[in-house]
Each structure stands twice: as C-alpha cells, then as structure tokens.
Amino acid sequence: MPRRAGGPALSAPGRPAALARPGAGTPDRSARRLWAWWLVSRAVLVTLVVTDQAFGMQQSVLGDLHIYAEWGRGLSRGEGMPTGDDRWQYPPGAAVVFVLPDVTHAYLGLPYRAVFVGMMVAVDAVLTAALVRRSVPAAGFWVAGLTALGPVALARFDLLPAAAAVAAVLALAAGRFGRAGFHLAAGALLKIWPVLLLIALSRPPLRSPGRSASIDPPPDPPPGRPTGRFPAPSPDWLRLAAGVLCAVGGLAALFALTGWWRDAFGFLGAQQARGLQVEAVAATPFVVAHMLGHGTAPGYSYGSLQFDTPLARGVATACSLTEIVVIAISALWWWGWARPPAAADGAGRAGVLVGRTLALLLVVVVTARVLSPQYLVWIMALVAVWIAMARPAGSGGLTVPAGGPAAPVPAGGPSWRWVALLLICVVLSQVVYPWRYNDVVQGRIMMSLVLVVRNVGLVTVCGWAWRAAAGSRPA
C-alpha cells in the first residue's frame, strides 16, 4: 500500500484508508466480536420465546403469535381480512406477514411459531449486517438495544417495518431513490410510521450524492418559463415516487388475486375506538391513581389492558389531536418555509432526515393511545441508522453532554447522553413487560413507579430529539 511521507496509508489519491468508505477504519476484530455477541444474545432471546414463562415471566409473549396464527389460517383459506376482530389494527401489508408462516406450516409441517421467530431472527441478522457495513458502533447499539428489549422483539413483527425504514435511509444516502421509495412504502404498508420519513423530507428536489445542495434560493428562471415557489420535480423525486408505486402496486395486485382487498383499511376504525393502554405515557396519571387506590383498574379491550373511563378516552382524544397538529405543523414548515440544511453528501442529508423523523416518531409514541414495548424497536432502528449516517469528524468528533465528560460520537449524530437514557427506558420496558406486568396491572407500588420512570424518560428523550433535530446540520 503506498504511503505519503509522514502520512497514513492511502487507498485513493489524497484520502486515508480509514476514511475510504464508511466503516472502513473499524478493525475486523470489532465486527467479529459484535457478531459473537449477536449470536449469544439472539440465542438467549429465542430461548426465552420458546420456553415462554418457564423463567418466571408474569406474562406470555406468545399471545400475539397465537392471534397471528389464527389470522394467517383465515387469510390462507380465503376468509379475507379479519376486520370483525377488534384486535385487527394493522395496515393491509401485515396480512402477508401473517400468512407466510401458515403457508410454510402447510407445505413443510414446521410450527407457525418456529417459522415466525425464524423470520424475525433473519430480518434482524440482515439489518445488523447492513449497519455493520456502515458503522460498527451503530450496529453495536442495535444489538444491545434489541437485547435490552427482550423476547417480545422476536415475538412481534415490528422488526420488518423497522428494517424497511433503515433500508430506505441507507438507499437515500447512496442516491438510490427508487429503492428508497420501495422500502419506505413497504414499511408503511406494514406499520404506518415509516411514512414519517416522507414527511421529514425537505422542500427542494432531492439531489444525488456528487451534486451540490445549496441553501441559497434558486436563480430566477429564464424569460418565458413559469415561476413559482416550488421547483419542478427532479428525476430523483420521480424515482422515489416510482419506487413507492412499485410497492403499492405489487401489494394491490396480490390483494386483487387473493380477494383480500375487501376491508383492507378497516383497521383505522379500531385504532380510533381505543382507550388508553396501561403502558401509554398519557396513562401515567391513571397508573399513579390506581397505585394509590383511586380510580378504576384497567380492563381488557382491543387486545390489551387499558383504562376505558370517559376521562381516559378524553385524554386519548386530546393526545391524538396533539399528534396530528405536531405532524401537520412540521410538514408545513419543512415543505413550505424552511430552507434545507446544506450537506456535502448523501449521508449528511440522510442524517438530517433521520433526526427529523425520529423526533416526529417520538411524538407519535409518547402521545399514542397505545405504547406496546415493541414500539421501541422503531425508535432504536432510527437511532441506530442515525449513528450510522453521522460522518466521522476527521480524527474523531466529540459531543460534550452538559454537565458531563466528553464522549466520542460521530459529528452530527445523537448525543450518547440521551442514547444511554433511551437504553435505560428499553430495559425498564422489558422489566415491566413481560416480567412484572401483573404487578403494574394490580397497582403495586414498585412496578408502577418503574413504569412512571420509564415514561418520564421517554418524554425526556423526545425533548432531546427535537432539540437535536432543530439544530441538526450535516458536518
């Protein structure tokens, strides 16, 4: 390998080998250690799912898997969407996820549970590999975060939309806008939240890596051309839209062939009819009141334990309105008035996009009527890819948390201070569910306080994410 005098090894003219590509400077030994930890941690998670409550969990994580299997059997037999079941609250693409293990069971005789968990482990492995290629620290956060969440991560299908969102961001960073649109739409057809990536995109046309993006207003058009605030769509936008249409069209064709198109959007009514789930942030006052012996105990409805009093429903409605207002104002600002941040490359712009999307997603989570623990998979996926998108600051950037020591972190990425707080919230979520959930439902003081601390932590992370998104600039 040629060297400059007194300088590091070069893999390209004028560029150190460590900076030749993202993640190139990370020793292979770190990646091997990470994969070893992945194997051990996933073996533990699979064991906890398979053995269920053998190790003392108060709640079984297999309840939803039994429901998925029931829906999968009905769909494979041509019974259509189970919209008559008030537990059906998923976009139409989820039907494909539920049917695949049932079809595998029918042809190969494998148990539904084994096929489903195997699918989730495979998706997790692919997502981890994609992060490792970009950034070992980002992959390390992801592996640690999913381990901290516990067995529920493999007993739900939220890994699929999370992986789709990460794939969309990585594709945008690489300038592959058609693929980004496809992944974004695929994720939104499984769970709606990946559409927040589209809302977080800024107004001007996307620009592929290698083309400069300016914060200056565009020059005046030549005489005879129409003027207007918004420029004509760029080829990048058209490719993004084409990718979205491919995903939507593919699912529509499948639904037309199977007859599943009837009541494909019936899940929307079930979402609006729900009360406040016990774990929802907005339910915190009701949890405290129940702990102190006041109010009513939560009851089972719509597939979860929730507070269903008129006051709880009123709070749930107010939270939904707050969520809509925040998303609408953000979309109007980012698409109508805000200037896009300057960025040197696709990774920098993708990092800004992820920061904005994460801030919106945290608002959705903390104001939601329901806050199931698997929702934290969405948040951790965006944090991981945000860390991966943040570019190294030359010889190593430093983010200095207020009141604390400096910690190495890629420039433009999230502060390790609130990343650590997020991991604490994830651990507390696993303690609450599935290990000690009955204690919370029964109003016992210790676990009720653990849930309160978790909720306060999530609100704090949400505030920090908005501060980071508001001030985010690619390095």
Name the packing angle between helices 94-108 and 112-134 (round to 10°): 120
3-class secondary structure, 271: helix
Q: Exposure pattern of 279-299 as b/e (b: 16+ CB <10 Å)?
A: bbbbbbebbbebbeeebeebe
Least confident interval from 132-146, 206-220, 355-369, 427-441? 206-220
Token pair for 300 = 């089972």
Q: Cα 418 from chain centroid?
A: 17
From the list 338, 363, 366, 370, the residue with the least C-alpha distance to 352 is 338
**Structure confidence at residue 179 (pLDDT):** 96
Name the DSSP letter for residue 407.
E
Against a cut of 0.75, is the pTM above it?
yes
Residue 21 pLDDT > 70, yes or no?
A: no
**Section 288-309 average pLDDT:** 88
Bridge-based pairing state of the strands 15-16 and 10-12: antiparallel
Cis peptide before 434 (omega within 30 of 0): yes
Q: Compute the radius of gyration of the chain from its Cα atoms.
A: 23
Q: 431-447 pLDDT, tens per residue?
A: 999 999 999 999 999 99
pLDDT digits 0-9 by tens, 44-66 = 999 999 999 989 999 999 999 99
What gap in Å lies between CA 169 and CA 165, rounded to an integer?
6
Residue 16, strand partner residues: 10
Burial (Cβ within 10 Å: 0-12, 13-18, ≥19) of residue 320: middle
Report d(CA 60, CA 64) in Å as an integer. Answer: 9
Alpha-helical (H) ranges within 153-266 are 159-173, 177-190, 196-200, 235-258
pLDDT tens digits along 356-413: 999 999 999 999 999 999 999 999 999 999 999 884 333 333 233 333 333 333 345 7
pLDDT of residue 203: 60
The answer to whether 22 and 134 have CB atoms below 8 angstroms apart is yes
Residue 205 is given by DSSP the state: P
Task: Give ∠ CA 167-170-174 in degrees, rounded to 5.
Answer: 135
Would you give the end-to-end CA distance of the chain in angstroms? 29
Q: State the Cα–Cα distance between residues 60 and 49, nearest whole angstrom.
A: 9
Q: Report how far residue 474's alpha carbon sits from residue 93's, in angstroms, rounded to the nearest whole number.
A: 34
Q: Residue type at 417?
A: R
Q: Are the C-beta atoms of 48 and 149 separated by less than 8 Å?
A: no
pLDDT for 9 equals 41
- Identify the pLDDT of residue 78: 83
Instruction: For residue 81, give the nearest of 62, 98, 100, 64 by alpha carbon.
Output: 98
Q: What are the tens digits of pLDDT across the range 242-258?
A: 999 999 999 999 988 88
Spatial distance between the Cα atoms of 389 and 410, rounded to a whole number of angstroms: 9
The closest alpha carbon to 388, from 141, 134, 21, belongs to: 134
Coil, strand or helix: which one is 301? strand
The one-character DSSP state at 218 is: P
Give the pLDDT band (50/70/90) at residue 233.
Answer: low
Whole-number Å distance between alpha carbons of 370 and 465: 21
Cα angle 335, 339, 340; round to 5 = 85
Residue 156 contacts residue 439 (beta carbons within 8 Å)? no
User: How sure is the predictor about 272, in pLDDT bands with cuts at 50, 70 and 90?
Assistant: low
Q: Domain segments of the chain: what residues?
A: 24-210+233-470
Q: Do the beta carbons of residue 414 and residue 460 sit within 8 Å?
A: no
Distance CA 458, CA 170 (A): 26
- The pLDDT, as a whole number, for residue 150 is 98
Dist CA 467 CA 472 (whole Å) = 8
